[in-house]
Amino acid sequence: MRTQRVISVVGCHAEGEIGDVIVGGVLPPAGATMYDKMRTMERDHDEVRRLLLCEPRGSVARHLNLLVPPTRDDCDLGVIIMEPTEYVPMSGSNTMCTITVALETGLIPMVEPETRLTLETPGGPVSVVAQCRDGKCVSVRIGNVPCFVDRLDAELDVPGFGTVMVDVAFGGMFYAIVDATRLGFEVVAAEARELAVLGEAVRGAAREQLEVIHPENPGIRDVSIVQLNRPFAGVGEATRNTCIVAPGRSDRSPTGTGTCARLAVLHARGQMQVGDTMQHESLIGSRFTGTIIGETTVGPVRSDGTARAAILPTIEGRAWITGFHSYCLDTSDPYPTGYHLPDTWGVGGGMTQ
């Protein structure tokens, strides 16, 4: 075997969603901030994402997390989050996987019964509290970046579905949030394919018809994910949802940043207050716990002396290591950056090589 590179990866999933962690074989990209490092990775080293996430080594159901040294003195570890079609500023399930792998493999010292640290994501620093017992990371609670509503009750013209009402909110990424029951869905596992078709249609319409820009970082823009849910079941109760991630599949977890975006909408509508908690449930029945712990603002102060209202949320869930892998690239391999086909690459997939 003539191998030109070997990459070490620890397999992991958080409540059903795969978030594998690169622990060797990839150098940290250049950049003054974690956001800059993410953009450098995307611009100059995207072959890593394509090699590991595209076939024949990867699949549309995986994400990758690259551990890097932090750029801030107040952070313990940095991460660059790679998804099948994009790099994202923050992800709850990927953060849970990253922390679980870092603690259980000894990359960061585990303190029982509770390990506290700060993770630098491209979206900003997030606080982490990991409950630990007998060498196992039992659960991870994340204090997310400020989350806020961009707009409520926006009308979209969605091909094949007509006029669809959406709320747009930021939970680490921008979400278009839809009450899928209004469109005849029960939001159950048997509807996964049809929900994915709806989600991709809404995402395309939102990106075309709505200008969405983060008030503090204009590089974070446009709707990335569509959340399709049932009506809010009430404070402390479990509410079913599914988040359709590009290129068109249901997130297997309840989606951490999606939970935070939902909390921001419920707070803006007066349905949740500081101190309130909700359970967000996925199509496979896994759950994250979301809590509003504070209020804040984001962006510049406007001419009337106010700024955009935001919440400070936490999300909590569990992750499990699934394996230890060494991925190789033979010098004669005709697919050094992989490929994907639309039969498995989501409803929005196409042949790419």
Please list the active-site residues.
91
Q: Are the CB atoms for 69 and 30 separated by under 8 Å?
A: no
Contacts of 137 (CB under 8 A, 6+ apart): 99, 100, 103, 104, 110, 115, 130, 131, 319
CA 164 to CA 151: how far, in whole Å? 14
- Cα angle vertex 346, ends 343, 204, to 5°? 130
- SS3 at position 115: strand
CA atoms within 13 A of residue 188's CA, in its CB half-sphere = 4
Nearest in space to 195 (alpha carbons), one of 171, 164, 226: 226
CA 219 to CA 179: how far, in whole Å? 28
- Cα angle vertex 252, ends 250, 257, to 5°? 85
Q: How many residues in total does the chain contain?
A: 353
Nearest in space to 316 (alpha carbons), one of 134, 123, 114, 68: 114
CA 257 to CA 278: how far, in whole Å? 14
Q: How far is CA 199 from CA 161, 196, 266, in A?
A: 11, 5, 21
Which amino acid is it at 57?
Answer: R
Nearest in space to 93 (alpha carbons), one of 16, 145, 178: 16
Q: What are phi and psi for residue 181, nearest 5 degrees?
A: -65, -25
Please give the structure tokens belonging to residue 129. Answer: 């509290």
The radius of gyration of the chain from alpha carbons, rounded to an integer in Å, stands at: 19
Q: How far is CA 183 from CA 123, 200, 228, 229, 258, in A?
A: 33, 15, 10, 11, 20
